[in-house]
Structure 1
Amino acid sequence: MSQPYESVAQPTAVPPPGCPAHAGGTGAEPLYTAEFFQDPYAVYKRLRETHGPLAPVELDPGVTAVLCVGYETALEILRRPETFSKDARNWRARNEGRVPEATHSAQLIRPRAQAGWVDGEAHRRLRSAIDDSMSRIDPGALRGYVERIADSLIDQFAAAGEADLIPEYCQLVSMLTVGELFGCPKDIADRLFGAMAQLLDGQDPMAAAQEVDATLLALIELKRTEPGPDVTSWLIAHPARLTDEELIEQLLLMMGMGSEPVPSLISNALRVLLTDENFAGDLAGGGMLVEDALDEVLWTAPPLANLAVHFPLRDVTISGTRLRAGEPVVISFAGGNQDALESSQHKQGNRAHLAFSAGQHTCSGRSQGRLIATAAIEKLLDRLPDIELAVDAEKLEWRPGLYQRGLTALPVRFARVGEPPKAAEWDAGPEPAAPAPAAPTSAPEVTVQGIPAAPTAPPAPSAPPAVPGAEVAAVVEPGGAPAEAAKPKPTGVLAFLARWRRSRK
């Protein structure tokens, strides 16, 4: 990945393999074991009972951190930016050369010119560009777009009477939607979402990080020459005038929702609807049923289980634990939620969970992500009201990993409906015309780390860009109306998902 900042100290030698500093020799709980992957909630509970809300852990062999598994403590850290920094330049062990560059931790937790990893004025500037761009998405048009994609995807497996909803529905409906929102063509989407998934899972993290950078830069270069009514173009044209490095990092943060959190939110909620006795057998309950299921999942199985790394700016005592300056504190959204549920009565409709973080770094795309999940689930239940799990609930398996919480597969069965459309009969119609760029937006000179950023021209909200895998209605700004949509055309995204699934077996 690109490195916007240099470390503040010269690196020293990394402890060799076999040294007590590796593989549990630190006395910290390793979070890369089969035990943790099989039942992380048992580990969270044990850590809380043994150490309290702040527990010593290993993210990788020899890479230590503190895991926050207490709800109130997590909120205190998230709401104290003056004491707990998001800037990884403060990571003392990394600055001292004690974090091997090839580890998952070093690639995922590093200095970034990204709103989620900076503080103060830098955060306000980058966050304003994100919020302003995301605010231009019309929720009504977005819902209509998701429903059209969902209908077309369901058409592909409805006649079979069975499906694995993870690759055939949950991943695709989210990826195609996010691809359209960001004006991302299918060839870039294939590469991008695969690399994002590999980065979060820790599969060859250095290569995955480099591929993410390369594909996002390709998208930026494309939208500079062919701007459209999409978030990427709006972000490029924002008066903050982001550098290429900053654009890459903001797009990684924003588009990442289509790679992991939203697909897992959809599948995790469907698991609840199909297996939980509070929901199963009443799938015709309508929108409130889906909203309740989403709330349940955001409390009990948040798609991002552990992240929001913070670094104390000075030695500080919190919840009875002394934290050293520069020691990474990882917020366990899952563990903190578990603590809240165990210490108080969980009431239906309570949305005080940590799934979207809290404080000034609360997820900027939370409303759009929830809307995508809601619309996708409602459409599936409406089209296939008799859908049921095709295996025993106990046989569902969770993907291994520290940072995400999602299923490996979600096999279902249902009454067969109609016949699948033939791909040869689909006609996407003519390519939309490229919009003409508008006059440049005037803005004062802005520098990032002392580097001037060049101004860009904002896009004209006219014809939609090409859609990754389908020609469908554009997600327009408030006041516009989405165009009529043709059925989507299968593309390389489908082939990518098949390859991606095989790579995980």
Structure 2
Amino acid sequence: MTTTAPLYLPHAYRLYEPGFAQDPHAYYTHMRAHFGDVAPIEISPGVFGHLVIGYRLALQLLRDTQTWSKDPTVWVSHLPKDSPVLGMLGPRPNPLFADGERHARYRRVITDSFGRIQPHHLRDLVREIAALLIGRFAGAGIADLIAQYARPIPSYVMNRLFGQPDHAAPRLVTALAGLIEGGENAAAANAEFEAYMRRLLALKTGERGHDLTSWIMDHSAGLSPEEVLHHVVLTVGAGQEPTTNLIANALAIMLSDDRYYAGVTNGALAPIHAVHRVLRDEPPMANYAAHYPRHNVRINNLSIPAHSLVMVSFAAANADPQGPGAPLSGEGSHLAWSAGPHACPVKDPAILIAVTAIEEITSRLPDLELDGRREDLQRRIGPFHTAYRHIPATFTPLTALPTTGDRAWPGNPFRTSSTPPDAISPQKPPACAPSAPPCA
């Protein structure tokens, strides 16, 4: 395998600066005007690459496995061992960083394991956790919808799915937030994340259960312990921050656009419409899908050396004037779930979690309002995501949560008896809500 010197781009767009986080589409517009479909970027100080921002070029790249590889081994060999981007882009033995038959083998583990989760069990699990979390702040009349709701929900859900007790869930929040932001704390966050995963695997090695961890460990693909670790790392990482941002970004839209929120509260417009708008306009993972050319390539007027970093901007591609121009409810024409052999294999569970979480909070707190203007909300800095720091909201304080449906089914295998509801909330409100719409 040949190697390539680190790519130096003196006029790259810095995706780690506050200006990019606050108004990324201004950057994409400037990139398009000056470079066309692909532009030079810097994702961390001294770490350069290219960003594909054209819809058709992105689709072509994502489907072309002959020209492009997902293996970053050569590229990362030129990075410092403590580079903050290694947590997100460093090689791991899981489907995100593999090609060909190796990728197909890894991907089967993920799809088969998630395929064993019944949608109604997952929906009931989200309802139960949402009710417990809402119960913690329902009496205050004010909440940060990210810190107190959108971020905890995926961590508690993933803990349950992987067979962990609720009290272990908060460890994920800080670690994953630091990992995805790619800042100076990213290396420590990555180490904590992997340490958490190793503790989980040690527990499940001695005691199998009806959970994702056990199913991955016992899959017919025969993963090694290291491969099992990194499949769990991928699943938890992909399930936490992107789902947090999907819930939060959709709530921000709904609370600032009367067409959405009034429609949800009166039953005329389902939350899934807001979710699809987020996927098209503010995808939770805005810039990712790292690829590496197998040989030197030339796109437009840019020469891209072999094995150098090329990422896809799902956000910019979706906004490309030459793209498909998806309508409000048109899911299929955006790239938020990527495309080609590496398209997200579990988008349906992600949508189900987000839609159910939004249904729960809008039905239980029907006068929920944004405390301020959406355009004044601060974004989290980072090259990969579209995320708010905080979403302050107000509502009429409640002394007891309203019930909106039947209790969660007692047969749900992901309900834990070892950790009582008190681990999340002492109020123990009933887990109930109307049925979520089918996943797209």
Q: Shorter-normalised TM-score: what interval?
A: 0.7 to 0.9
Range 296-305 or range 180-189, more displaced: 180-189
- Out of 406, 424, 434, the position equivalent to 1:490 is 424
- 3-state SS in 1 of match to 2:160: helix
Amino acid at match of 1:252: V
Deviation at 1:319, TM superposition (A): 5.4
CA–CA distance in structure 1, aligned partners of residues 231 and 396 of structure 2: 43
Deviation at 1:215, TM superposition (A): 1.4
Report matched runs for 1:311-326 at 5 Å: 311-318=292-299, 321-326=302-307
Amino acid at match of 1:372: I
Q: Is the 8 A contact 1:101 1:107 kept in 2?
A: no
Matched, 1:170 2:150: yes
Report matched runs for 1:440-451 at 5 Å: none
Partner of 1:242: 223
- 3-state SS in 2 of match to 1:412: strand
CA–CA distance in structure 2, aligned partners of residues 335 and 194 of structure 1: 28
Matched, 1:53 2:37: yes
Q: Is the 8 A contact 2:150 2:245 kept in 1?
A: yes
Range 266-275 or range 156-165, more displaced: 156-165
Q: TM-score, normalised by structure 2?
A: 0.87
| CA deviation profile, 1:433-453 (whole Å, cap 9, x unmatched) | xxxxxxxxxxxxxxxxxxxxx
- 3-state SS in 1 of match to 2:40: strand
Q: Is the 8 A contact 1:163 1:412 kept in 2?
A: yes
CA–CA distance in structure 2, aligned partners of residues 251 and 146 of structure 1: 20
- Out of 103, 110, 128, the position equivalent to 1:123 is 103
Deviation at 1:418, TM superposition (A): 2.0
Q: Is the 8 A contact 1:157 1:420 kept in 2?
A: no
| CA deviation profile, 1:345-365 (whole Å, cap 9, x unmatched) | 431321121111111111122
Partner of 2:121: 141
Partner of 2:327: 347
Q: Is the 8 A contact 2:135 2:401 kept in 1?
A: yes
Deviation at 1:466, TM superposition (A): 4.0
Deviation at 1:101, TM superposition (A): 2.7
| CA deviation profile, 1:153-189 (whole Å, cap 9, x unmatched) | 2222222222111111111222111111111234543
Partner of 1:192: 172
Deviation at 1:47, TM superposition (A): 0.4
- 3-state SS in 2 of match to 1:160: coil
Partner of 1:333: 314
Whichever of the two has the greater Rg, that structure is 1
Partner of 1:65: 49
CA–CA distance in structure 1, aligned partners of residues 165 and 73 of structure 2: 34
CA–CA distance in structure 2, aligned partners of residues 28 and 154 of structure 1: 44
Amino acid at match of 1:111: P
Deviation at 1:129, TM superposition (A): 0.8
CA–CA distance in structure 2, aligned partners of residues 251 and 288 of structure 1: 36
- 3-state SS in 2 of match to 1:159: coil
Report matched runs for 1:348-497 at 5 Å: 348-351=328-331, 352-419=333-400, 466=416, 471=420, 487-490=421-424
- Cα distance change of structure 1 residues 419 and 256 upon mapping to structure 2, 3 Å threshold: same
- 3-state SS in 1 of match to 2:349: helix
Q: Is the 8 A contact 1:183 1:467 kept in 2?
A: no
Amino acid at match of 1:181: L
Matched, 1:100 2:80: yes
Q: Is the 8 A contact 1:100 1:106 kept in 2?
A: no
- 3-state SS in 2 of match to 1:260: helix
Matched, 1:305 2:286: yes
- 3-state SS in 1 of match to 2:126: helix
Q: Is the 8 A contact 1:390 1:412 kept in 2?
A: yes
Q: Is the 8 A contact 2:166 2:423 kept in 1?
A: no
Deviation at 1:420, TM superposition (A): 8.0
- Cα distance change of structure 1 residues 249 and 286 upon mapping to structure 2, 3 Å threshold: farther
| CA deviation profile, 1:17-49 (whole Å, cap 9, x unmatched) | xxxx5xxx7222222223212211100110011
CA–CA distance in structure 1, aligned partners of residues 138 and 241 of structure 2: 25
CA–CA distance in structure 1, aligned partners of residues 395 and 89 of structure 2: 43
Partner of 2:235: 254
Identity of aligned residues (%): 36
- Cα distance change of structure 1 residues 387 and 262 upon mapping to structure 2, 3 Å threshold: same
Matched, 1:232 2:213: yes
Amino acid at match of 1:205: A
Q: Is the 8 A contact 1:28 1:57 kept in 2?
A: yes
Partner of 1:457: none
Report matched runs for 1:142-157 at 5 Å: 142-157=122-137
- 3-state SS in 1 of match to 2:169: helix
Partner of 1:212: 193
Structure 2 gap segments, 5+ residues each: 403-409, 426-440
Q: Is the 8 A contact 2:252 2:391 kept in 1?
A: yes
Amino acid at match of 2:376: K
Q: Is the 8 A contact 1:179 1:467 kept in 2?
A: no
Deviation at 1:405, TM superposition (A): 1.2
- 3-state SS in 2 of match to 1:307: strand
Deviation at 1:489, TM superposition (A): 2.8
Partner of 1:40: 24
CA–CA distance in structure 1, aligned partners of residues 387 and 178 of structure 2: 14
Q: Is the 8 A contact 1:396 1:407 kept in 2?
A: yes
Partner of 2:138: 158
Q: Is the 8 A contact 2:152 2:170 kept in 1?
A: no
Deviation at 1:128, TM superposition (A): 0.6
Partner of 1:132: 112
- Out of 199, 205, 223, the position equivalent to 2:204 is 223
- 3-state SS in 2 of match to 1:163: strand
- Cα distance change of structure 1 residues 286 and 63 upon mapping to structure 2, 3 Å threshold: same
Amino acid at match of 1:124: A
CA–CA distance in structure 2, aligned partners of residues 260 and 248 of structure 1: 19
Amino acid at match of 1:148: E
Q: Is the 8 A contact 1:228 1:465 kept in 2?
A: no
Amino acid at match of 1:50: H
Range 278-287 or range 69-78, more displaced: 278-287
